[in-house]
């Protein structure tokens, strides 16, 4: 049993994953509030998007360094999605993904909601996966 | 966020304290005008309080009513229609008899309880397959809401019966109302409070009218045909449980009084009585006598059988109703109004429908264009309801028959949406001042003509079906000065109405009108000479600016620096302050930059007179528009208001500087054109403006490319408007000067609403998908409009989220809350009611081709921006192909050769072809980018009428105008020549033709045009001497000239912009623009109409 870099990565990701789960829930709530009119879309363009993207890319880098290929493989699709989103936001936008005038469009809103739910599911699953992997690496080595 | 939130919050505000008896009075409009609230208060309320203390039904003296009358009422009444006036019936006859009346009550007018059943599973409608995402239903909760709805209904229904059972008796008297379940209230009874018998000994029975929702139209049939059902359906009083007990007590008393009345029947009454009790005391029951219809009904159904009848039918219905009806799944509430409709409609209009359904073979119909202006289709509603419906110019739906489910909508391949012109100038607009604005408690819908009155005291919302109480004040009708006629209040008689909003609708005190003008004074701008025109026009119209004593005005000019003008009182002349730090803009002095117009009028006039001369020597060519806008925003943000920006070139300095993106050589390359903004500076600034209730209107007077795609965002998201004068120059382009003058005058003097929000509500089951227009969408159904002007139109795409199969009609309501220039908070409400249909052929039957075209154009603009122009063009073509193919495969039973289209859509291919040839969407032409984008802005922001004119111009032959069929307006005779098809084949060399393309008109004079026309109208001796660039018709004293000029003037008057008239000869350079509008003809890059049809046919028959 050894405290390897991989184990460290998993521990860190575990903690950060909790943060991502929080972000995802926050998004879900925010979109719901938008839909029910408690919130102005202008405020919706939230500051949590960039942190989320960076935390997630941090995961990928860590797993790359730790040579956890399977875990990395699981995260790469989302990484690419984030990169795609980042570069497809409105010109010059600092608000990233959510464009206030467009977000209330029924398609966009339901898309964003779905996206938030999917991410929540993904982060939850990865949370347990990291937990498992962490214990596994700790025990096996 | 706080800022943006304001309006909405206010908007949602409750009615608030409505305690005052009736403040309403007199509203401004004539209709309402007279009421004297005061009179009312004293008398009615007083009596009220005595007798009715609690809703508990006091004992009633039955005596007052007329029985018979009540019956009548019940059946007929349902209808709210204006037409039906239920007059009061005879004065109350003997007491006992009346009880019988209760029976009628029982009969609910509305048969339709059945709805409940349907909840089922509409499930998620599959998203539309068509190329447009017409309405993709979100599908999220297919059944959810519905079910709840149903449940609710059921609940009420069930309740209802019980009440009847125990029943007992209610005071018969009270029932008069009951009698008219559906009806609009019969309202007879309440008229004179004073007369009411003294309560002391015998309490009068409460009167109430149960009114079924819209009430089935009196016309007919329902009662006759199925009385039983009717009764069962009888207006369900919502709050059953409470009532019962009350009822019983009352019943007892009544029993005596009523004498004959049977319990069952009575029961219902009693229930109603409870609700309406107070009223009864005051009023006299006078039976309604009403309309013929009523009479009929009576005859049919229950002539005069009070007692016997009561026992049987009334009682039965009450009891059994629940069991019977519900199981059936009949719809509980909604239908009443329509039910009849359908009946009558199907019978009466059978032939008409047939006509409407008859397919048209487009390939064979050569003259498909009607010769008069195409009118909006009339929804297939009962005429009494239709009479109340909103004017199609204000509120229009693409499908006047709403498909029941999203699946049906997807099958039809037509877009479902609304086109609104909510703030249109209206010559007659009822205005209501009332301390309480009656709204549904759950969905906040304003009371409107399509709600149903269950009885005198309760109404059911037509959007969410919640049953609400009618507030005391609403019982008094200021128009007739009668009490107890809630259904006759102007709110319930007008689909378009304006309320004066009380303070609950304000988040801050209403703002003063504030106008800030921002002028570009760079060298380029001075060259164009626009400043003269604008300042002069402004000077001329200073007194006409909408406003009051609080009106404020200010000016900013900019080139590479920003200049502010202090108009402080006491200064002998305006003082200019220059801010050269454009990176971090600040306001040089906190006040005196925006000053009160009235108090500083002379300084302002001074400034306007000197402004054009101040910069004539300027050599500064840079333009710091971005910083100037930021400064303007800072100046305006404490109050909100309107910024009018005049810009003549591409902004080149500071924030928001733009680079030219137009490459002349690639103009024709549809792929690379830049329709998206290159920076979001303007969008963000617009959003900030929107939050502070500031709107920015952009006047772009530019010869070169100015990147309207980016600049336009400033207006688009702040609910402003965009004006574009291409190549404006005071000398080189004098027609533009006139156009600017006229349009600026209209702009300055038109009505304006500040800090506005608009909410669009629709019947549960429908949802809003996307909005089109200039605004910021604050919520799924709420638009934030810092300014609203009468020339702006909006479009809304809708989706059917849940099946509407248990409804016969759906309603849409738009409510615009704004602050008028006089500082009043007002709400303008439009409500539209449309029938729901279950079959595809009905959907096609009700298609409104103009509205569809308008909505498609809006969608196509979005598509061109988000994808590409060619995508948008394909989508337009596919819209035609898909809908006609769907029609062919699903509706036509016999496959005929040719291209078959439903009659309602016979112009669809033509209009779509016109869209494809319009500047916004035309491919590979020399259209300049700014012009194209401006046209797209117009598509988004113009009301449908003007959009259609821009898309498909009207062509008239004007060399032989006659007074035949002419309109007479103000002593002027306006000829109405027939509209011709837009094809060169319709032109003859011996004629002169006027093409009205909305913002421009062409008068084409043929080579062999009659000498008469040339000399009498054009005022020149012969064809050869018609000047090349003639833009005005001379005012001649000849009949021909007067006819032509009044006709053109009449056309111009009808629109807020000023169309320039070009006189076109064969060899004139404008001939190509004229011919470009000949939509049915072939151009180098576009198909002719016939070719287009062949193309569609090929695709449809695949």
Closest CA to B388 of B397, B401, B374, B378: B378
User: How many beta-carbon pairs below 8 A join chains A and B?
Assistant: 68
Contact B140 A110 (CB under 8 A): yes
Looking at per-residue confidence, does A32 or B260 come out higher?
Answer: A32
* Cα B241 from Cα B238, distance rounded (Å): 9
> Which tokens go with B260?
């004959």
Residue tagged 């500064």 (tokens): B620
Nearest chain A alpha carbon to B690 = A42
Q: Where are the beta strands (DSSP E) in B456-559?
A: 458-460, 467-469, 476-477, 482-483, 496-500, 514-520, 552-558
| Gap from B830 CA to chain A (nearest CA, Å) | 22
Among the partner residues B4, B140, B679, nearest to A92 by beta-carbon distance: B679
Do residues B386 and B755 touch, judged by C-beta distance below 8 A? no
Q: Which two tokens stand for residue B249?
A: 């007590």
Instruction: Report the pLDDT value the prediction gives residue B724, as an integer from 0 to 100.
Output: 93
The residue among B102, B108, B104, B110 whose CA lies nearest residue B271 is B102
Q: Looking at residue B68, what is its pLDDT?
A: 35
CA B586-B590-B592 angle, to 5 degrees, is 120
Encoded tokens for B472? 């005391």
By C-alpha distance, which of B671, B234, B679 is closest to A93? Answer: B679
Residue of A nearest to B782 (CA): A37
- Annotate B133-172 with DSSP letters as a single string: -TT----SSSSHHHHHHHHHHHHHHHHHHHHHTTT----T
Q: Are A42 and B691 a contacting pair at CB < 8 A?
A: yes
Backbone φ/ψ region at A92: left (φ over 0), alpha (ψ -120 to 50), beta: left
Helices (H) and strands (E) in chain B, counts: 37, 34
Q: What number of CA atoms fall less than 13 Å from residue B277's CA on the CB side?
A: 25
pLDDT given at position B737: 92
Tell if the CB–CB gap between B777 and A35 is shorter than 8 Å.
no
Nearest residue on chain B to A38, judged by CA atoms?
A: B779
- Cβ count near B561 (within 10 Å): 17
B528 versus A104: the higher-pLDDT residue is: B528
Please count the CA atoms within 13 angstroms of the CA of A133 that sit on its side-chain side: 24
CA distance B827 to B13: 12
B918 phi and psi angles, rounded to 5 deg: -75, 155
Distance CA B515, CA B555 (A): 9
The closest of B208, B160, B212, B221 to B184, measured between CA atoms, is B212
Q: 């860190």: which residue's tokens? A: A12
Instruction: Say if B776 is an interface residue toward chain A (CB within 8 Å).
Output: yes
Q: Which of these, B709, B658, B683, B660, lies nearest to B920 by C-alpha position? A: B709
Q: How far off is chain B from A133, nearest CA to CA, in Å? A: 36
- Is B209 in contact with B200 (CB distance < 8 Å)? no
In this prediction, residue A38 carries a pLDDT of: 73
When scoring A28, A36, A42 by the number of chain B Cβ atoms within 10 A, the one with the most, hence best to mutate, is A42
Q: What angle do CA B20, B24, B28 make, to 5 degrees?
A: 160
User: The tokens of B199 are what?
Assistant: 């309560």
> Are residues B678 and A43, on separate chains, in Cβ contact within 8 Å?
no
Q: Which residue has the tokens 């919130």?
A: A39
pLDDT at position A90: 54
- pLDDT at site B664: 59
Nearest CA among B435, B458, B116, B426 for reference residue B275: B458
Structure token digits, residue B101: 């009346």
Q: Angle between the B908-917 and B1089-1100 helix axes, to the nearest 10 degrees? A: 120
Percent of chain A past pLDDT 70, that is, above it, reads 88
The rounded distance, in Å, linking the Cα atoms of B1010 and B1026 is: 13
Is B768 in CB contact (< 8 Å) with chain A? yes
Task: Band the pLDDT of A95: cuts 50, 70, 90.
Answer: low
Nearest to B680 among A37, A39, A90 (CB): A90
- How many angstroms away from the CA of B809 is the closest CA of chain A? 24
Q: Which of B575, B719, B714 minimizes the C-alpha distance to B658?
A: B714
CA nearest B767 in A: which residue?
A106
CB distance A106–B691 less than 8 Å? no
Q: Do the beta carbons of residue B26 and residue B19 sit within 8 Å?
A: no
Contact A106 B777 (CB under 8 A): no
Q: For chain B, positions 973-992, list CB contacts with chain A under 8 A.
A: none
Q: Which of B123, B164, B127 minimizes the C-alpha distance to B144?
A: B123
Rounded alpha-carbon distances, angstroms, from residue B415 to B246, B399, B698: 51, 8, 31
Write the CB contacts of B366 (distance below 8 Å, at least 6 apart in sequence). none
What residue spans of B823-928 are helical by DSSP H?
840-845, 849-866, 869-890, 908-917
Residues of A in contact with B138 (CB under 8 A): 106, 110
Contact B1 A104 (CB under 8 A): no
Q: Which residues of A touch B771 (CB under 8 A)?
A: 104-105
pTM for this predicted structure = 0.73
Residue A41 has its nearest CB partner, among B140, B768, B778, at: B778
**Would you call B780 and A40 a contact, using CB atoms and an 8 Å cutoff?**
no
Q: How far apart are the first and last CA of chain B?
A: 54
DSSP code string of B223-278: HHH-HHHHHHH-PPPS--HHHHHHHHHHHHHHHHHHTT--HHHHHHHHHHHHHHHH
Cβ–Cβ under 8 Å, residues B178 and B275 = no
Q: Select the residue of A37, A91, A100 nearest B678 (Cβ to Cβ).
A: A91
Q: How far apart are the first and last CA of chain A?
A: 5
Confidence of residue A126 (pLDDT cuts 50, 70, 90): very high
Contact state of A106 with B780 under an 8 Å Cβ cutoff: yes
Q: B829 has which bridge partners?
A: B497, B815
pLDDT at residue B772 in the model: 94
Would the CB atoms of B778 and A104 count as touching at under 8 Å?
Answer: yes
Question: Do B781 and B11 form a contact (C-beta atoms < 8 A)?
Answer: no
Question: For the packed helices B263-282 and B37-51, what is the interaxial angle rounded to 10 degrees?
Answer: 130
- A92 CB neighbours in chain B (<8 A) are 679-681
On whether any CB of chain A is under 8 Å from the CB of B678, the answer is yes
Kindly compute the dihedral angle of the four CA atoms of residues B722, B726, B732, B738, in this order, to the nearest 10 degrees.
Answer: -30
Which residues does B818 contact at the CB level (< 8 Å), separation at least 6?
B423, B753, B754, B755, B756, B757, B785, B788, B825, B826, B827, B828
8 Å CB contact between B404 and B837? yes
CB A40 to CB B1 under 8 A? yes
Q: What are the DSSP calls for B164-231, one per residue?
A: HTTT----TGGGHHHH-SSSSP---GGG-STTSPPTTTSPPPP------SS---TT-HHHHH-HHHHH
Q: What is the DSSP letter of B114?
A: B
Closest Cβ opposite residue A101 in set B138, B678, B777: B777
Distance (Å, whole) CA B181 – CA B233: 10
Maximal C-alpha separation, chain A = 54
B140 touches chain A (CB under 8 A): yes
Count how many Cα atoms sit within 13 Å of the Cα of residue B548 in the half-sphere of its side chain.
Answer: 10
Distance CA B172, CA B677 (A): 71
B779 CB within 8 Å of a chain A CB: yes
Task: Quote the CA–CA distance of B273 and B64 in Å, as a whole number.
Answer: 13
Averaged pLDDT, groups of 10, chain B, 1102 residues long: 38 36 37 36 35 38 36 36 38 38 37 37 37 45 37 36 38 35 36 37 38 38 35 36 37 36 33 30 35 34 34 33 33 38 42 64 85 88 88 92 93 93 90 88 92 88 91 83 83 91 88 94 91 93 91 93 90 89 88 90 91 89 93 93 94 88 58 76 91 94 88 92 91 89 93 93 92 90 92 94 90 94 92 92 92 95 88 93 90 80 91 92 78 92 92 90 80 87 88 90 89 87 85 87 90 88 86 87 86 92 80
Nearest chain B CA: its distance from A19 CA (Å): 26
Q: Decide if B769 touches A, using CB distance below 8 A.
A: yes
Distances in Å between the Cα of B915 and the Cα atoms of B185, B868, B872 are 48, 16, 11
Mean per-residue pLDDT over chain A, rounded: 84
H or E segment at B24? Answer: none
């Amino acid at each position: 049993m050894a405290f390897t870099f991989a184990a460290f990565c998993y521990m860190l990701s575990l903690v950060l994953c909790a943060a991502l789960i929080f972000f995802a829930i926050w998004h879900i709530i925010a979109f719901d509030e938008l839909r029910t009119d408690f919130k102005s879309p202008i405020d919706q363009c939230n500051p949590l998007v960039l942190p989320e993207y960076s935390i997630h890319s941090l995961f990928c880098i860590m797993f790359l360094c730790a040579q956890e290929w399977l875990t990395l493989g699981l995260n790469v699709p989302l990484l690419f999605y984030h990169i795609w989103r980042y570069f497809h936001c409105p010109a010059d936008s600092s608000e990233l993904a959510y464009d206030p005038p467009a977000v209330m469009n029924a398609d966009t809103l339901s898309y964003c909601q779905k996206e938030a739910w999917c991410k929540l599911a993904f982060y939850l699953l990865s949370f347990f996966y990291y937990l498992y992997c962490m214990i596994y690496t700790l025990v096996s080595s | 966020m706080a800022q943006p939130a304001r309006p909405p919050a206010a908007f949602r505000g409750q009615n608030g304290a409505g305690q005052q008896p009736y403040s309403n009075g007199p509203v401004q409009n004539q209709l309402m005008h007279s009421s004297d609230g005061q009179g009312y208060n004293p008398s009615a309320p007083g009596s009220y309080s005595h007798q009715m203390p609690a809703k508990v039904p006091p004992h009633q003296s039955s005596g007052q009513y007329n029985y018979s009358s009540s019956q009548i009422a019940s059946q007929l009444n349902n209808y709210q229609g204006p037409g039906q006036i239920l007059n009061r019936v005879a004065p109350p006859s003997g007491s006992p008899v009346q009880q019988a009346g209760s029976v009628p009550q029982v009969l609910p007018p509305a048969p339709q309880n059945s709805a409940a059943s349907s909840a089922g599973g509409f499930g998620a409608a599959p998203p539309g397959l068509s190329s447009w995402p017409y309405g993709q239903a979100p599908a999220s909760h297919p059944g959810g809401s519905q079910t709840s709805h149903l449940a609710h209904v059921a609940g009420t229904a069930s309740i209802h019966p019980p009440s009847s059972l125990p029943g007992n008796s209610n005071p018969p008297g009270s029932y008069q109302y009951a009698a008219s379940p559906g009806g609009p209230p019969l309202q007879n009874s309440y008229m004179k409070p004073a007369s009411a018998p003294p309560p002391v000994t015998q309490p009068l029975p409460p009167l109430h009218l149960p009114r079924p929702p819209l009430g089935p139209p009196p016309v007919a049939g329902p009662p006759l045909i199925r009385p039983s059902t009717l009764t069962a359906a009888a207006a369900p009083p919502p709050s059953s449980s409470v009532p019962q007990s009350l009822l019983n007590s009352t019943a007892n008393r009544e029993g005596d009084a009523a004498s004959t009345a049977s319990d069952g029947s009575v029961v219902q009454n009693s229930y109603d009585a409870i609700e309406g009790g107070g009223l009864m005391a005051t009023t006299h029951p006078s039976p309604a006598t009403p309309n013929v219809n009523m009479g009929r009904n009576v005859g049919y159904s229950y002539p005069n059988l009070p007692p016997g009848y009561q026992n049987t039918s009334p009682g039965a219905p009450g009891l059994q109703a629940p069991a019977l009806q519900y199981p059936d799944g009949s719809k509980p509430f909604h239908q009443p109004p329509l039910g009849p409709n359908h009946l009558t409609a199907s019978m009466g209009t059978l032939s008409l429908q047939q006509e409407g359904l008859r397919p048209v073979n487009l390939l064979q119909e050569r003259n498909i264009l009607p010769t008069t202006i195409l009118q909006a289709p009339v929804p297939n509603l009962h005429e009494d309801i239709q009479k109340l419906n909103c004017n199609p110019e204000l509120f229009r739906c693409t499908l006047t028959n709403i498909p029941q489910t999203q699946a049906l909508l997807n099958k039809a391949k037509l877009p479902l949406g609304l086109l609104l012109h909510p703030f249109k100038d209206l010559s007659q607009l009822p205005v209501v001042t009332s301390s309480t604005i009656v709204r549904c408690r759950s969905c906040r819908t304003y009371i409107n003509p399509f709600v149903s009155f269950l009885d005198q005291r309760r109404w059911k919302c037509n959007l969410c079906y919640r049953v609400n109480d009618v507030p005391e004040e609403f019982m008094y009708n200021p128009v007739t000065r009668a009490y107890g006629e809630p259904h006759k209040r102007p709110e319930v008689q007008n689909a378009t109405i304006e309320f004066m909003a009380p303070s609950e609708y304000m988040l801050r005190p209403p703002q003063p009108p504030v106008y800030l003008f921002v002028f570009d004074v760079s060298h380029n701008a001075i060259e164009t000479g626009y400043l003269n025109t604008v300042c002069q026009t402004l000077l001329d119209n200073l007194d006409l600016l909408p406003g009051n004593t609080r009106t404020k005005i200010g000016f900013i000019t900019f080139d590479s620096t920003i200049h502010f003008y202090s108009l402080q009182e006491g200064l002998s002349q305006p003082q200019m302050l220059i801010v050269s730090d454009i990176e971090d803009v600040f306001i040089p002095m906190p006040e005196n930059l925006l000053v009160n117009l009235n108090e500083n009028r002379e300084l302002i006039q001074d400034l306007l007179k000197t402004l054009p001369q101040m910069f004539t020597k300027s050599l500064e060519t840079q333009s710091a528009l971005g910083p100037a806008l930021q400064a303007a925003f800072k100046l305006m943000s404490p109050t909100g208001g309107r910024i009018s920006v005049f810009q003549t070139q591409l902004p080149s300095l500071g924030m928001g500087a733009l680079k030219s993106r137009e490459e002349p050589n690639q103009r024709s390359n549809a792929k690379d054109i830049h329709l998206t903004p290159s920076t979001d500076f303007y969008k963000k600034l617009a959003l900030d403006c929107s939050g502070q209730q500031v709107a920015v209107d952009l006047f772009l007077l530019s010869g070169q490319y100015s990147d309207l795609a980016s600049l336009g965002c400033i207006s688009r998201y702040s609910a402003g408007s965009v004006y574009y004068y291409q190549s404006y120059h005071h000398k080189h382009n004098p027609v533009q000067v006139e156009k600017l003058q006229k349009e600026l005058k209209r702009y300055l003097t038109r009505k304006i609403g500040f800090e506005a929000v608009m909410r669009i509500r629709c019947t549960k089951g429908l949802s809003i998908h996307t909005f089109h227009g200039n605004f910021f969408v604050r919520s799924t159904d709420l638009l934030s409009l810092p300014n609203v002007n009468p020339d702006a139109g909006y479009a809304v795409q809708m989706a059917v989220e849940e099946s509407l199969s248990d409804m016969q009609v759906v309603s849409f309501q738009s409510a615009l809350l704004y602050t008028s220039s006089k500082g009043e908070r007002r709400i303008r409400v439009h409500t539209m009611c449309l029938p729901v249909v279950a079959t595809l052929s009905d959907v096609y039957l009700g298609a409104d081709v103009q509205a569809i075209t308008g909505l498609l154009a809006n969608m196509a603009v979005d598509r061109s921006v988000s994808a590409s122009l060619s995508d948008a063009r394909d989508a337009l073509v596919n819209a035609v192909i898909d809908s006609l193919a769907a029609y062919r495969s699903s509706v036509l039973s016999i496959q005929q050769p040719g291209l078959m289209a439903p009659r309602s859509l016979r112009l669809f291919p033509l209009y779509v072809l016109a869209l494809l040839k319009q500047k916004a969407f035309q491919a590979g032409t020399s259209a300049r980018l700014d012009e194209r984008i401006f046209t797209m802005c117009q598509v988004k922001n113009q009301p449908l009428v003007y959009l259609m004119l821009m898309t498909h111009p009207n062509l008239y032959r004007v060399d032989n105008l006659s007074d035949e069929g002419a309109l007479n307006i103000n002593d002027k005779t306006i000829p109405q020549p027939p509209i011709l098809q837009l094809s060169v084949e319709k032109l003859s060399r011996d004629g002169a033709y006027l093409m009205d393309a909305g913002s421009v008109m062409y008068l084409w004079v043929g080579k062999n045009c009659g000498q008469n026309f040339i000399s009498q109208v054009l005022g020149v001796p012969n064809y050869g001497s018609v000047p090349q660039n003639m833009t005005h018709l001379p005012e001649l004293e000849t009949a021909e000239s007067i006819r032509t000029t009044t006709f053109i003037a009449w056309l111009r008057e009808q629109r807020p912009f000023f169309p320039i008239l070009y006189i076109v000869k064969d060899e004139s350079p404008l001939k190509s623009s004229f011919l470009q509008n000949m939509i049915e003809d072939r151009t180098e890059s576009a198909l002719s109409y016939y070719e287009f049809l062949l193309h569609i046919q090929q695709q449809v028959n695949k």
